[in-house]
Each structure stands twice: as structure tokens, then as C-alpha cells.
Structure 1
Amino acid sequence: MENTHRSGLDKLRSFIDNGDIAVLCTLKADHIHCRPMATSDLDEQGNLWFFTNEYSSKVEEVEQNDNITLCYTDHDNSKYISINGTASIVNDRSKMEELFNSSVKMFFPEGLKDPKLALLKVQPHHAEYWDSHSSSMVHFMGILGSALTNERSLGGEHGEIDL
């Protein structure tokens, strides 16, 4: 079981670099509410960390329903991943000190002294990914070849990860 979790975590890490922008989706009343979030960390346990304003609507939404979805897109490398998980708000000063950087300071000019500063922790449970492993032209040629041979071969890799 540990090897399966470790390989799933390694696969997840191959899609996410610290600093990548995720689209965080929460449930707001009767619709899905999405917004971009800068990833601060993907820790050794597989948790994703983001800085947030403790008084924002996303915090209210997570407190109402902690099931969220994160989506990452790497257009340059034709890699995409959608992650389902559980979110929680964390007020851990030592973790904030560990993750705080100049990019975060743009949104929280008072730095670690900002009373609104909090962390959003996402524990991933399941992910689905698409990785074409190739340039757009190679990917297009795979689609064209599939159409000509009537065989499904879009190239690349598609799969799911249970974490």
C-alpha cells in the first residue's frame, strides 16, 4: 500500500511544481466557484499548501463543504491534471514561516504579521491526468494517424491516481 501511495505521490509531483498556479474550485450555494491560486508547497505527505485571506469567500465555502477540485495546466508540455481532495484552513505560524516568500508578500504586504494571513491545506484523494509527452505537431500527427487507420491512438498518457 505504501509503494502505491508513494508512486501516486511521485506521479502527482511530476505534474506540479511549487509556484504553479492551480484553479481552485469550491461549491458556492448553487454553483461552482473557481479562482486561481499560487501553490506554495506539495509536502512529503502529498498535501498541497496555499496562502489565503482567512476572511475570504473561499474560506467560507470550504467551511461549508470541504470537498474541492484543483486543476493544473502546463500548455507548454501538454500536461493537465485535475485533483479532488479535502480542504482545511490552517493557522500554523511555523508552517507559514516555512512557506512565506516574496510572491506571497505581494498579496499580503504586512507579511507574516498580517492578521488575515492563513493557509489552505488540500489533502488530495484522487487525480486524473493527461500527458501527451510531445509537441502539438506530434500530437496532431497521432490524431491524424488515428483517423486514417481507424484505431484510437492519440499518443501520450491518460490515467488516474488514488492517493
Structure 2
Amino acid sequence: MSRQEVDEEGNIWYLFSSESNTFQHLKVNPKVSIQFAHVSDYNFLSVNGEAEVSSDKETIEKYWNKMMEGWFEKGKEDPRIRVLKFIPFEAKYWDNKTNKLATVFKVALSAISGQSLDIGREGKLDF
């Protein structure tokens, strides 16, 4: 799935298929965790929240784009299209102050020496 928007309230929007494993899982449990990564800088974000699923035509129209055509052969009218609104309630981040190579070196040095080195920042964000 590809993120369509993060709205003013912090909700994250997606279009996806009712035939997907994600849809089947959400029918059982609407609790969701989403991870974002900027791997080259070793920065990571993990967001926990709850999902709401709909087939609202206006929202599908709002988020429809060329990329979606590859997934839904019948276009915007495809009955399999679902809208996922992800409502976050907690997030954790890991933000390194240095590049990937320096971080790997610091982790290795810390493991060998037993010293606690400043590898980066981490924290929690509450909504």
C-alpha cells in the first residue's frame, strides 16, 4: 500500500483492495502498526493506531491516481476498492545523529568495549 495523505489531524489515508490480506486482518482486529524508515540515514518511525475501513466514493475519488489503475482494472468504480483511515495514538522514533557507517561502527565498538556510546536519539510521541 502507498500512503495517499497525512491530513491536518494526523490521520493517514490509503486505498487498498478488499481481496488483500490487510483487509482480512482488519475485519478481525482494527489495531494497526505502521513503520516508516529512511534507511540511508538510519531513521525510523513506528506508529500505532486504529484503522477504519470504508468504500466511500468521495474519498476514493479524492485519493485516486494513476498508480491505482495498475491495481484496480475497473478503475475508480472497481467494487474491491477500500479506503483505510489510520488514526494514530502513539509513535516511537529512532533518529541517528550520524550516517549509517558511523552508526554501525559505534554499535560494534559499544558491543566490543562494553561502553555506552551516543548512537542517536529515541523517543515516544503521544497523540
TM-score, normalised to structure 1, is: 0.68
Could you tell me how far 1:144 is from its partner in structure 2?
5.7
Give every structure 1 segment of 4 or more consecutive aligned residues whose post-TM-superposition deviation is greater than 4 Å: 144-149
Q: Which residue of 2 is the match for residue 110 of structure 1?
A: 74
Gaps of 5+ in 1: 1-36
Match of 2:116 among 129, 145, 151: 151
The CA distance in 2 between the partners of 1:74 and 1:59, in whole Å, is 26
Alignment of 1:90 onto 2:54: yes
Could you tell me how far 1:55 is from its partner in structure 2?
4.1
The CA distance in 1 between the partners of 2:20 and 2:55, in whole Å, is 14
Match of 1:123 among 87, 96, 113: 87
Total equivalences in the alignment:
126
Q: Which residue of 2 is the match for residue 54 of structure 1?
A: 18
Gaps of 5+ in 2: none
Structure possessing the higher radius of gyration over alpha carbons: 2
User: CA RMSD for the aligned pairs?
Assistant: 2.0
- Contact 1:131-1:158 at 8 Å conserved across structures: yes
Could you tell me how far 1:41 is from its partner in structure 2?
1.2
Q: Which residue of 1 is the match for residue 102 of structure 2?
A: 138
Name which structure has the greater RCO, CA cutoff 8 Å, separation 6+. Answer: 2
SS of structure 1 residue aligned to 2:15: strand
Match of 2:37 among 63, 73, 77: 73
The CA distance in 1 between the partners of 2:92 and 2:61, in whole Å, is 32
Query: Please, which moves more after superposition, 87-96 or 50-59?
Result: 50-59
Could you tell me how far 1:62 is from its partner in structure 2?
1.3
- Contact 1:143-1:153 at 8 Å conserved across structures: no
Letter paired with 2:22: K
Could you tell me how far 1:133 is from its partner in structure 2?
3.5
Percent of counterpart pairs with the same letter? 24
- Contact 1:84-1:126 at 8 Å conserved across structures: yes
Could you tell me how far 1:106 is from its partner in structure 2?
1.1
Could you tell me how far 1:134 is from its partner in structure 2?
2.5
The CA distance in 2 between the partners of 1:62 and 1:149, in whole Å, is 43
Q: Which residue of 1 is the match for residue 2 of structure 2?
A: 38
